[in-house]
Amino acid sequence: MTDETKTKTTSLDIAVPPGAEGERLDRLLANALSDRSRTFLKRLIEDGGVVSGGETIVEPSRKVKPGESFAVSIPAAVDAAPQGQDIPLDVVHEDDDLIVVDKPAGLVVHPAPGNPDGTLVNALIAHCGDSLQGIGGVRRPGIVHRLDKDTSGLLVAAKTGPAHGGLTAQFTDRTVERAYAAFVWGLPNPAAGSIEGNIGRSPRNRKKMAVRTAGGREAKTNYITETVFGTGAATLIECRLETGRTHQIRVHLAHIKHPVIGDSVYGGGTTRPRKAAIGEEAATLVAKLNRQALHARLLGFAHPITGETLSFESPLPPDLALLARILGTSGNRG
């Protein structure tokens, strides 16, 4: 069985056979689906594609139990070989080994179901050439980290195999410096601190992430207040990541009741009280953002080949710079 040419999600029910009790979930699935790699199945589990007893299972290492069965949803595969597309790139830095771009909001990083093309990967292939195709995986050539579709800012991609390995190691070892500008609702207290909480798929909605009391993956976000708008209706903070989980900043800030402005997925929409607090003009602007007010403004790492320390900064894009100005018209402190 293959899904490379299918257009719809394939749903399978897999039961724990006698003698498999206590086995890892990803190994169980690999034994049952011999045409799928264990790496593929591990990612499928982490992405929320496996459900048991109404609960989404997101831990590949979870031990299976006697009598359990798992509903496995395998999404249709995108084109196994993304094609280059002439999509403008804001190149901040480029050399023979890597490229740093300033990604606009609205641009998906790599092809996936629902976004088969028109992505940053398609743009990178056109810009860097077909040699990028063989680096770091067929569907995500050159990609070593991601930004959400509606998050803007700095992203580095590898152009060679050694560079990909070196950059990936730095992200794994948490030696990459990353800072984000985030506009949030309300005034965080304390003004600076750390948010810790394991992040995994929400058991209620597998398309969302959540802070989990059980399971999930370790996550830590450090933040500091930069500007408080008005009497604390909104705040501009800087977030620095110690880990790199899916939607980490958005999930952590929502967890402490200060979601990112404009983030409709995690509670950052404009409610009546919020609208009243920031004023009509700012509320109108927030409604027109059509994205979360989150920007990756700092990226620092060691060049994976030369060892040179590289650091890049990106100013707020026009939409967020305007938001800061309009929010500031009501007075600020901080």
Instruction: Please identify which of the residues 102, 148, 150, 319 carries the catalytic annotation.
Output: 148
> Would residue 95 show up in a list of annotated catalytic residues for this protein?
no
User: Which of 101, 152, 89 shows the shortest CA–CA distance to 292?
Assistant: 152
Cα dihedral 226→170→250→156 (10° resolution):
80
3-state secondary structure of 6: coil
User: Which of 173, 198, 207, 273 shows the shortest CA–CA distance to 48?
Assistant: 207
Half-sphere exposure of 36 (CA within 13 A, CB side): 24
Non-local CB neighbours of 168 within 8 Å, separated by 6+ positions: 136, 144
Phi-psi region of 51 (alpha: psi -120 to 50; beta: other; left: phi over 0): beta
Alpha-carbon distance of 38 to 219, in angstroms, equals 24
User: Which of 190, 193, 180 shows the shortest CA–CA distance to 240?
Assistant: 180
3-state secondary structure of 210: strand
Catalytic site residues? Answer: 148
